[in-house]
Structure 1
């Protein structure tokens, strides 16, 4: 579980880099260059943003919602996480699943982003041909007093450029990690049962984060 948490922290760190890069600019970049540029930029943002360092998760959520999501294919990620049961879902159900899964990822791990200070990202050699439309970009998060965390970003090129559709930490895939629990929810309550479960978890997280933010404000 700790590996998954560390991986998702890195996932959000790399995602936040989108705040510094317009979608039109990133579409022209090679995938490894895109990951390198955005990762470098996000570390600078996190270190300089006093609100994030103070634990302002709402600020992180707002940044992700406004400027990060265009760089990730959350529909593809949700489809892979749901697996074969995705075909059972109607168009409306697929949209609700995608929205709920995206919100869950952002809300669940936004708090972790406030904990980053002096981590360093090392980039491993990437091997792909100019004509490739699906690539793997390998990086490593180095932090004092802990083992390095290997992070692999799976990207696919479409009409709007390169987008991340999976992230792998220490050999564990984000979408695979959720597939088992999603399958259990669907077995119990069908597609609608999974949607209800995700939406309920998101409401609970929103309430918790709202309370935490209020506590932080009163303590200031």
Structure 2
């Protein structure tokens, strides 16, 4: 009898904890909305912060919402396995800095912009695409589609498609070409040059 009571108690505890976990789990949509809120907040302080300030503010937001290691691997494709562990780590760091720099450069001031959620759909491989619009006063809306994958720590962005143009596809086309023709050091130099340009424009 005591054994049955004990087992029942354990089951109740497990159900309670699983309920807490489910409640705490952030959806793909929520990840995107939280990131977009961070972008708008930085834009509102954009001129005051300057590039360095915007970069510092977005560093945590981008690393939290984007799967930067996976993005780095996808960008170089089959060449990833040809890189040493040191080179892989160096590339991941460079892609991380490039991504944050691009946001700090492109979202640098505020003139009433806002994001809105359109819809969410599952992909064939267990992913989710979150469809949103960026509203710019006096201009045509820009459609942002966020391709999401779930990891142990939750949903993360692996690609952004702006008005039908895939950021990941553009980077992969450009950077695999540099890596194939000119080698790893040339690729890092190319990425570093882009980061520097973002910081000074």
Give the alignment's TM-score, normalised by structure 1: 0.70
Say whether 1:111 aligns with 2:109: no
**Which gives a bigger RCO, structure 1 or 2 (Cα 8 Å, sep 6+)?**
1
Q: Which residue of 1 aligns with 2:182?
A: 189
In structure 1, runs of 5+ residues without a counterpart are 1-23, 213-220
**Contact 1:186–1:193 at 8 Å: present in 2 too?**
yes
Scaled by the length of structure 2, the TM-score of the pair is 0.76
Distance 2:98 2:128 in 1: 26
Which entry has the higher C-alpha Rg, 1 or 2?
Answer: 2
Kindly indicate whether the alpha-carbon contact (under 8 Å) linking 1:53 and 1:114 is maintained by their aligned counterparts in 2. Answer: yes
Alignment partner, residue 32 of structure 2: 35
On the 8 A contact 2:35/2:62 being kept in 1, the answer is: no
Which consecutive unaligned segments of at least 5 residues does structure 2 have? 1-20
For residue 96 of structure 1, the aligned residue among 85, 90, 102 is 90
**37 and 192 in structure 1: CA distance in 2 versus 1, 3 angstrom threshold:** closer
User: What corresponds to 1:164 in structure 2?
Assistant: 157
Q: Give the match for residue 177 of structure 1.
A: 170
Post-superposition CA distance 1:148-170 (Å, at most 9, x none): 11101111111111111111111
Write the deviation string for residues 94-144 of structure 1: whole angstroms up to 9, x where unpaired.
111111122123224412222232112121121349xx8411100011112
Rounded to whole Å, the distance in 2 between the matches of 1:75 and 1:205 is: 23
Look up the match of 1:198.
191
Give the secondary structure class of the aligned counterpart of 2:119.
Answer: coil
Structure 1 partner of 2:128: 135
